[in-house]
Structure 1
């Protein structure tokens, strides 16, 4: 039974969700299809996975100031190098933005989650990284309050989800499109329930590891995909509010929880799972930049642009992961060794 801080099935899900976001963007940008439910909830799945992964790795390693320092350094070494690399590539493609002082402050400090991330992110998808950073700040406090109790975490998860849904429905009430409310919607409070629910599933996973590999886990995961196929919505914004938003949010949360209990892969599938999980963050942040490069280079057809963007993204993700992310993560581990 695998008991360390890595759950390969969850890493695989992270990679698939990053690829799903990329697919959504490519289809939308090329005017082929607009599958917003994938674009929305694949990102929200990241927040569930983040809560799960942090709880697995750190829930009993935040008991003093030195452990908190190690947590902060390692999280910074995980997020900042790729984020700064993506910003540098973005600036090579674009002129310095008009509001550059506030935008530079928000993005290079990684504090954009506290500064209206939907309005201050310079990167496509960068707002979610700002939200992540807020969750990193909240995480030790949630761990302390939960005290490794499933019951406490369950209460906190339910409370967080209620607050999240009240906020989302209030912010989006009366709006006709996401464009109208994007900056107000993309605040950490709109996603906190996903994160705490992920922590709850991790605590259940820790306490019930004998359920790993249960035959029902894949069935539940597949069942959670059904609402994304069948649920009707007259407008994209309806996917986030009301009973449709509630259904898809619950499906996303339960999907990640079920995937955690799916049997760990082996052989070639294990290698693919680890590979795509490792590249997920790079795929997520780099594919818009690669697409702009391919488009502006004069690629003549939509199909060719998509193919080149996919190939370029996976190649760029591999190179950046190997020569930027991994060295920085290793350095972070060296700083916090002992």
Structure 2
């Protein structure tokens, strides 16, 4: 088996860049009254979050595999320090925006519930488990809550997948088994919760619904590590990408009212399509975009702040640019504008916030790790 450290993974940052562009597009298209095709393309951007989930699981495996002696406590500490500073800044930013909207009318009211309880639940990253705070503080914050719960269970999942790595077929079967378990949980919730229809958005966002998507990312990593993915031909990768994209798109627009287990099947099928995006970018498409890769590097900051530009700024521009009658042109203008501003704002946040906190977190992790080592030495002496 080849040393995975020496391999080039520029495709990961490009996928992150594509994912944040998809997320920006869905929030931009919601500000205009466009054609069905335009809105369909834009709304499919909501699946950008699932691309982030696939990438996240893949990179966590990559990191864990290259640091076999890392303790679980160090893993949790690093994940918290990676997410918390930018997310907490997001809480403050959107709280400030909400105050402006409520008392000064600078923008339309956000409609979010910035109660003390909801803020505290988000600070503790438990919003993935609490309906009122799930997506009610930082726009898109539901995915951060879901991701943090995934971090909690990841070491166990990583151990399970490692146990089955010798049997290659299991790397394909395990996500399907997890999908089946997710469907059973979904069915149980439908049966138990009489208020399911009102809480359906929360159940869609929930970790039990998204864990099959993360499992795709874990399997993708092992298939990559074992040089199985490189055997997939270009034509096969393209066909499978198109198939799963059309499948998830069709299910998305059939809707939850007509499709049983819609909430589970749509994210899973889109996750499969993104697995083949990775295959295409990693092995077959020679095109490399520095801008897209850089956007991928800044993608976490971009995810937190993009709502300000894709929603608030775009809704303002729609009124000011009312001379643009063509909805397609309007969408292009809004998407380009919000994407560019998001890029530079995220770049600033990355360079002046993320990188500085990353350096601080490295020192904290080192101190914590040294204390653990000292503790172990003392125990041996005792």
TM-score (norm 2): 0.73
Q: In the alignment, what sits opposite 2:63?
A: 57
- Report matched runs for 1:1-338 at 5 Å: 3-4=4-5, 7-32=9-34, 34-35=39-40, 38-59=44-65, 61=67, 67-95=71-99, 100-116=115-131, 119=134, 121-150=136-165, 151=167, 154-168=172-186, 181-208=200-227, 211=230, 214-215=233-234, 216-227=236-247, 231=250, 235-237=254-256, 241-242=260-261, 248-262=266-280, 263=282, 269-294=288-313, 300-301=320-321, 303=330, 306-337=335-366
* Closer/same/farther in 2, CA of residues 295 and 52 from structure 1, 3 Å limit: closer
* Closer/same/farther in 2, CA of residues 291 and 20 from structure 1, 3 Å limit: closer
Aligned partners of 1:200 and 1:149: how far apart in 2? Answer: 10
* Closer/same/farther in 2, CA of residues 264 and 2 from structure 1, 3 Å limit: farther
Contact 1:19 1:280 in 2 (8 A): no
Aligned partners of 2:156 and 2:74: how far apart in 1? Answer: 16
In the TM superposition, what is the alpha-carbon distance from 1:297 to its structure 2 partner?
A: 6.3
> Structure 1: where are the runs of 5+ without partners?
none
Pick the structure with greater CA Rg.
2
Deviations 1:90-127 (A, max 9, x none): 11211396552211111112222233376454122110
> Structure 2: where are the runs of 5+ without partners?
103-111, 323-329, 370-382
Report the 3-state secondary structure (helix = DSSP H, G, I; strand = E; otherwise coil) of the residue aligned with 1:196: helix
In the TM superposition, what is the alpha-carbon distance from 1:139 to its structure 2 partner?
A: 0.2
Q: RMSD in angstroms over aligned alpha carbons?
A: 3.7
Aligned partners of 2:28 and 2:305: how far apart in 1? Answer: 13
